[in-house]
Copies of this chain bind each other. A is one copy, B any other.
């Protein structure tokens, strides 16, 4: 409705009418006198303005859409992509292990880390790898170079996916440090990003109670708890935070509550452009953990 009014105000020769009927703000209260409202409605019913109304409204809506994009969406897209890339790297690394094991099965067992495995496959020949393993013979088949090359192509691709993830993380850190310095300081890039993803936006995150932040990402367990008599979850995505990872098992619930508390404060500070207090909170939590 306000859009309609504004569109008229901007372009038509009915300015005065509109201005006279636009909501008059008195002491914070918005009231439109009844007779003026009627006048406006009559105006809206006039077919000669229909097309222009619609055009103007479309323009304003598009403008609104354009302005609605902010850091929230960018952060959410990036963090979703990071999660996706992680999953993809795992899938492809497993395939690489299976494939390379036709050639040198002993190596896949030896090397636990996917990333390191991929890198070694890419950079070293079988002979070099066998020296590292101090193995003289292998069960693997003696494949022609043409087959091995194909495996190495896959390894290269995986490495470049890992690199893309790293770049995304660096980018995320940069924009989050500007947009929500407190949150990213306390939560870190990954957990902070995932909180934003689950909370949809910094605004909504700032308005959520800290107990909800504590359980973001554990919705399934929460509703199972509410419906049946299963135990209530103690933490959602913040479980990945080092403070909770490092805490003893019996302390984790308590730690999650304190952490969610501080995270909630951070979100509010960031959203309402408050001070940079996260390091203080971090210290407090660290002290709590040592008790």
Listed in ascending order, the chain A residues whose CB lies under 8 Å from chain B are 62, 65-69, 73-74, 77-78, 80-81, 84, 88, 91-92, 95, 98-99, 102, 137-143, 146-147, 150, 153-154, 157, 160-161, 164, 167-168, 171, 174-175
Contact = CB atoms under 8 A, between A and B. Distances in A.
A73 B103 CA distance: 11
11 contacts: A62-B137, A66-B138, A69-B143, A74-B147, A78-B150, A81-B92, A81-B154, A84-B92, A88-B92, A150-B168, A157-B161
Chain A at the B interface: SS class:
helix
Nearest to A61: B139
Nearest to A151: B77
Query: Copy number of this protein in the oligomer?
Result: 2
Given A69-B141, A153-B167, A99 B77 contact: yes
B66 A95 contact: no
A70 to B, nearest CB: 8
A164 B171 contact: no
Nearest to A73: B102
Contacts of A175: 146-147
A164 B168 contact: no
Given A69-B141, A77-B102, 6 more contacts: A66-B141, A69-B140, A74-B102, A77-B99, A80-B95, A150-B168
B154 A66 contact: no
- List of 10 A-B pairs having minimum Cβ-Cβ separation, nearest first: A69-B141, A77-B99, A62-B139, A65-B139, A69-B102, A150-B171, A157-B164, A88-B88, A81-B95, A66-B141
Nearest to A67: B141
A65 B62 CA distance: 65
A157 B91 CA distance: 16
Given A88-B88, A91-B88, A167-B153, A140 B80 contact: no
A46 to B, nearest CB: 28
Among A69, A142, A168, A175, find the residue whose CB has the most chain B CB atoms closer than 10 A: A69
A135 to B, nearest CB: 11
A8 B168 CA distance: 61
Given A84-B91, A146-B171, A140 B102 contact: no
Given A154-B164, A157-B164, A171-B150, A81 B99 contact: yes
Residue from A78, A139, A140, A160 whose CB has the most chain B CB atoms within 10 Å: A139
Contacts of A168: 150, 153
A165 to B, nearest CB: 10
Contact of A140 (B66, B137, B143, B157): B66
Contact of A160 (B68, B91, B92, B157): B157
